[in-house]
């Protein structure tokens, strides 16, 4: 079993829909990261979370440390949101140069 599990693996939505991507992890972490990768593109860091909730424009990320679970929400989805969304965690305590452990990603396709 992977330390970081994402669901769903693939997701198709129509423009305007509300989207949720889930991430569960099995280790103690200092932070959880949500990353975005467009087809053939580089990786962009969207959020870094250690508790609670963060919001940026139409993206919202939440984390529940007790349940070892995080969600990424996209409100009013748009075709330009089509990308692979990757959840990653830095294990261990804060202040250590911990390494990232990645989920396998969720491929999102938003159609008109």
Partner 1 sequence: NAGVTQTPKFQVLKTGQSMTLQCAQDMNHEYMSWYRQDPGMGLRLIHYSVGAGITDQGEVPNGYNVSRSTTEDFPLRLLSAAPSQTSVYFCASSYTWDGIYGYTFGSGTRLTVV
Q: Is 97 in the site for partner 1 (CB under 8 A)?
A: yes
**CA–CA distance, 21 with 74 (Å, rounded to integer):** 9
Q: Is 70 in the site for partner 1 (CB under 8 A)?
A: no
Rule CB under 8 A: which of 24-63 touch partner 1? Answer: 30-31, 33, 35, 41-45, 48, 50
Q: Is the dihedral of CA 28, 34, 39, 43 positive or negative?
A: negative
Piece of 17-25, 60-68, 69-77, 88-96 that binds partner 1 (CB under 8 A): 88-96
Please state the closest distance from residue 43 (CB atom) to partner 1, in A.
Answer: 4
Q: Is 7 in the site for partner 1 (CB under 8 A)?
A: no
Q: Record the tokens describing residue 62, joined without a space.
A: 């939440």
**Across 1-112, where does the E strand assignment appear?**
4-7, 10-14, 19-25, 29-37, 43-49, 52-56, 59-64, 69-74, 83-91, 100-102, 106-111
Q: Record the tokens describing residue 94, joined without a space.
A: 């804060």
* Binding footprint of partner 1 on the chain (CB under 8 A): 2, 4, 30-31, 33, 35, 41-45, 48, 50, 86, 88, 90, 94-95, 97-100, 102-105
């Amino acid at each position: 079993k992977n330390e970081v599990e994402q669901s769903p693996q693939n997701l198709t939505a129509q423009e305007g829909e509300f989207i949720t991507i889930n991430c569960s992890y099995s280790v103690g972490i200092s932070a959880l990261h949500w990353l975005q990768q467009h087809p053939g593109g580089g990786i962009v860091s969207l959020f870094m979370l250690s508790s609670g909730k963060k919001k940026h424009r139409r993206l919202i990320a939440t984390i529940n440390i007790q349940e070892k679970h995080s969600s990424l929400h996209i409100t009013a989805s748009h075709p330009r949101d089509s990308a692979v969304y990757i959840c990653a965690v830095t294990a261990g305590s804060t202040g250590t140069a911990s390494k990232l452990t990645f989920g396998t990603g969720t491929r999102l396709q938003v159609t008109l």
